[in-house]
Amino acid sequence: MGGNKTTPDYRAILGISDEAARVRALDAHLSTRSYVRGFALSQADVDAFRQLSGPPADPQLFHVARWFRHVAAILGGPPATGPPCGLQATGRGRRAQPVWSPPAGSEPCQLRLYNSLTRRKDVFVPQDGRRVTWYCCGPTVYDASHMGHARSYISFDILRRVLRDYFKFDVFYCMNITDIDDKIIKRARQNYLFERYRGTQPQAAQLLEDVQAALQPFSAKLQETADPDKRQMLERLQRAVAQAAEPLEGALRAGLAGQELAGRVQVLLEEAKDVLSDWLDSLHGSEVTDNSIFSELPKFWEAEFHKDMEALNVLPPDVLTRVSEYVPEIVDFVQKIVDNGYGYASNGSVYFDTVKFANSEGHSYGKLVPEAVGDQKALHEGEGDLSVSAERLSEKRSPSDFALWKASKPGEPSWPCRWGKGRPGWHIECSAMAGTLLGASMDIHGGGFDLRFPHHDNELAQSEAYFENDCWVRYFLHTGHLTIAGCKMSKSLKNFITIKDALKKHSARQLRLAFLMHSWKDTLDYSANTMESALQYERLLNEFFLNVKDLLRAPVEMAAQFEKWEDEEMELNKSFYKRKAAVHQALCDNIDTRTVLEEMRALVGQCNLYMAARKAARRRPHRVLLESIAHYLTHMLKIFGAIEEESSLGFPIGGAGSSLNLESTVMPYLQALSEFREGVRRIAREHGGVLSLPTEACGDCTASAGAASPSAPCRPLVLAREPEDEGITQQRMRRGLAVSSPPLEMCLSRPLAPQALGSFSAGPFVLLLTGVRKREIACRLRVWRGLGRPLGRASRAFIHLPVSEQAGPPAGGGSTLGPGDTWRQDRRASDPTAVVRAAGRDVQGG
């Protein structure tokens, strides 16, 4: 039975109509066949099985009963009219693969982003496969970039990197530079007029008179100001001018002259700059007609902005647009809006008809902040200081209408067009530039929270009026506000910290970590507490990376790297994958970097506990597992932009932008030192703690590449075990006294190479270096001070390498060291002190 074809016995059995007779015949047939061990089910077996209603009850027919149970187990159930499930028989009686069913699994996590258009987290679905089109509102460049800019652009940089490097979207990122704006025009005019005034070198009496004249309209403006923050700023400025004017008035009364008087004049000029500039602009602003005056200011500050972004490690956009370069496209854009019936010309300007647009089928005005529609204060701020005069306001059909094109007044830059000389409105620039590059609909539009109304709402209205659609932006992302120690930050209120000033106190990585520790859409308070949290987080990660690097530097055979996993490793690995899953879920949940960093912190904490437990048990941690975790953390930090240089593991050493990678330069030497350390420890244990080997002459001293002459003696490398107290050792070495008893001497006659050095990283050892290659050793050791733990686990390293007369220049060039040059690197650790010193000529006598 079980052959490849139906036998004559089976044909006869299948032809018996009486079931009892058929079962007896089958039993007789099965008694001569093997149907258990090595049994291959044939189609004849299946046909015979299906003719039976069940196993026979007669115990004498045990062959049929066993055969029946065996076939039923293979077919997965009792006889049925349909084809059996499970293993099916082939026509030739061979077994086939069972039917495979996919695992139930779990629903994959979907990326959701907080969409300001819906005020909820929506599933992110790009319009064109994996390609994502993104437009971001850039800065208005008329002053230094501040931490408010950093809040937006670092946050968007993180989101962009996560979409590109983690979720693997193909992101096309566009950003604009606003270089035509009321603020820029006014600031450029004021700077020009003030410098012209300063160039006249006004006399003290004239300056005081002008300051008093300028304070009159300033005081009136102060009285009209209702905003308490702005009023406080103006009062502070008024007091500063008054305090600077008093010494100058006193000097005039006292009849002072010369340098003392000139110094007080300069002080008042600086303090009263804003007051005088505003006053001069009101008198002579219309006289400024040179367009180059209005272009030089934004060019300068745009360059400074790009430098700040580079210093913050913010990726440059794929495309950068400037308003001044897109004026023809803006004119065409405005004309089509007018042609579509949503714009109208008035007195040389063109305005958007918000009422008609809102009443049109398929359109809606105020999508982002509908409750703010009609807010005249916000609308006036959106129009600009130079565009809210009573004359301009009277040109509108409705107070909510906004300018698409502004007729230029004297003292403003202008471009000729069909409506006369004018310049673009603020909102139209983004619509025209984004529409030109990204078309009728984009995936993401980003900007600061304060741009929602009226800027972005007006952008949406005029763009959808141009394209006659209702989907110009699919997802609107807005970054949260930034406060300074709990207070509102505002450039107009002069309450801001520039990016350059912030980078003087903290690194770009620390600032980015501070932003990562907060949600990108919520308010961030830039304060000492915020930055201290970022510093502590950086230290935690850095210590972990250094510990793992130290573990990986320890010499170990290739096969010994893959040790058996115990319960501790399996538990840590299980937690590792659990944390990775939590990180993925957090990134899918509106790119929640705050939760991600907490999961990473928890993972590092578990690793630290694991390493501490291993150390307490005098067992080496599993290096492959810890290396895998460290690489994962490094990968995530690279995605977030917190590691800007090429670093295989952890934070790079050498500083951002440094062409020298200290770690890769020094690593061969540290590896050699680490390997030799293990050998020294082993020898020390074998010799009872004192190393003593006879000095052997070097046969090829005369061939030394570093020798000053063929007859120069071989300079020995001496290492001695120091049995004395650690403190006594340091004192004696500082005084140049002898240490220990018979030393271990090794000849250093060839050019210095990594494998020629030994390890002195765990004491109490004293390494005495002499010879013609001393300066090269010094140059190599000098870069170690940049390493977090330069000498393995040494708690403190004192390096003193005077240059001998025989010492030649270091191989490959490099700086030289003078006698007595000393470096000191303090690190807290449990191991004793390592002391390195270059000895004099007589090593054994010293």
DSSP 689-752: T---------TTGGG-TT-SSTTPPPPEEEEEE--S-HHHHHHHHHTT---SSS-EEEE--SPP
Does 326 map to a domain?
A: no
Distance from C-alpha of 693 to C-alpha of 706, rounded to nearest angstrom:
25
Domain identity same for 47 and 87: yes
- Residue with structure tokens 């619509």? 431
Q: Note whether 444 and 127 are within 8 A (CB).
A: no
State the pairing for strand pair 170-177/131-136. parallel
DSSP 525: E
Structure tokens at 181: 């704006």
Does 666 map to a domain?
A: yes
Kindly report the CATH number assigned to the domain that includes residue 613: 1.10.730
pLDDT tens across 418-459, in order? 999 999 999 999 999 999 999 999 999 999 999 999 999 999
Domain identity same for 690 and 801: yes
Distance from C-alpha of 482 to C-alpha of 460, rounded to nearest angstrom:
25
Among 293, 311, 337, the domain boundary falls at 293
Locate all alpha helices (DSSP H) within 225-272, ordered by sequence. Answer: 228-254, 259-271
Among 246, 273, 293, the domain boundary falls at 293
Does 399 map to a domain?
A: no
Domain identity same for 620 and 714: no
Domain identity same for 669 and 563: no
Report residues of the chain scoring pLDDT below 50.
1-8, 81-92, 657-659, 690-846
Query: Strand, coil or helix: what is 301?
Result: helix
Element containing residue 526 per DSSP (H, E): strand 524-526
On the CB side of 773, CA atoms within 13 Å amount to 22
Beta bridge partners of 319: 174
Domain identity same for 704 and 809: yes
Distance from C-alpha of 772 to C-alpha of 750, rounded to nearest angstrom:
10
Helices 508-516 and 147-161: crossing angle in degrees, nearest 10, is 70
Q: What is the pLDDT of residue 318?
A: 98
Query: Strand, coil or helix: what is 140?
Result: strand
- Residue with structure tokens 């230094």? 144
Q: What is the pLDDT of residue 654?
A: 63
Q: Tell me how many domains the chain contains.
A: 4
Residues in contact with 687: Cβ distance below 8 Å, sequence separation at least 6, in sequence order? none
State the pairing for strand pair 716-721/524-526. unpaired
Q: Note whether 832 and 764 are within 8 A (CB).
A: yes
Residue 402 has phi, psi (to 5 degrees) of -130, 160
Structure tokens at 308: 């700040």
Among 273, 293, 313, the domain boundary falls at 293
Does 228 map to a domain?
A: yes
Residues in contact with 107: Cβ distance below 8 Å, sequence separation at least 6, in sequence order? none
Domain identity same for 216 and 263: yes
DSSP 178: B
DSSP string, 552-614: HHS---TGGGSPPP-HHHHHHHHHHHHHHHHHHHHHHBT--HHHHHHHHHHHHHHHHHHHHHH
Distance from C-alpha of 533 to C-alpha of 668, rounded to nearest angstrom:
35
Cα–Cα distances in angstroms (integers) from residue 720 to residues 673, 680, 683, 760, in the given order: 15, 10, 12, 10
The closest alpha carbon to 346, from 393, 390, 388, 396, belongs to: 396
Q: What is the pLDDT of residue 665?
A: 66
Domain identity same for 29 and 81: yes
Query: Strand, coil or helix: what is 432?
Result: helix
Residue 143 has phi, psi (to 5 degrees) of -160, 180
Domain identity same for 80 and 223: no
Q: How large is the greatest C-alpha to C-alpha distance in the chain, in angstroms?
A: 142
Residues in contact with 456: Cβ distance below 8 Å, sequence separation at least 6, in sequence order? 137, 368, 445, 447, 476
Does 584 map to a domain?
A: yes
Q: Note whether 336 and 466 are within 8 A (CB).
A: yes
Q: In what order do the strands lie in the sheet with 482-484?
A: 487-488, 482-484, 524-526
Q: Give the angle subtended at the CA of 299 by the CAs of 297 and 301, to the nearest 5°.
A: 70
- Residue with structure tokens 């007896």? 24
Cα–Cα distances in angstroms (integers) from residue 59 to residues 64, 445, 548, in the given order: 10, 81, 70
Domain identity same for 709 and 631: no
Does 465 map to a domain?
A: no
Does 473 map to a domain?
A: no
- Residue with structure tokens 């520790």? 517
Domain identity same for 619 and 739: no
Cα–Cα distances in angstroms (integers) from residue 315 to residues 140, 174, 509, 644, 705, in the given order: 19, 11, 14, 10, 48
Q: Note whether 551 and 621 are within 8 A (CB).
A: yes
Q: In what order do the strands lie in the sheet with 796-800?
A: 744-747, 716-721, 765-769, 834-837, 796-800, 822-826
Domain containing residue 777: 662-837
Domain identity same for 589 and 686: no
Distance from C-alpha of 63 to C-alpha of 457, rounded to nearest angstrom:
85
Beta bridge partners of 411: none
Distance from C-alpha of 821 to C-alpha of 779, rounded to nearest angstrom:
11
Domain identity same for 747 and 675: yes
- Residue with structure tokens 């059995």? 13
Beta bridge partners of 448: 479
Beta bridge partners of 174: 135, 319
Q: Note whether 526 and 483 are within 8 A (CB).
A: yes
The closest alpha carbon to 280, from 271, 292, 272, belongs to: 272
SS (H, E, C) 436-479: HHHCCCEEEEEEEHHHHHHHHHHHHHHHHHHHCCCCCEEEEEEE
Does 120 map to a domain?
A: no
- Residue with structure tokens 């917190």? 642
Distance from C-alpha of 402 to C-alpha of 393, rounded to nearest angstrom:
10
Q: What is the pLDDT of residue 36?
A: 55
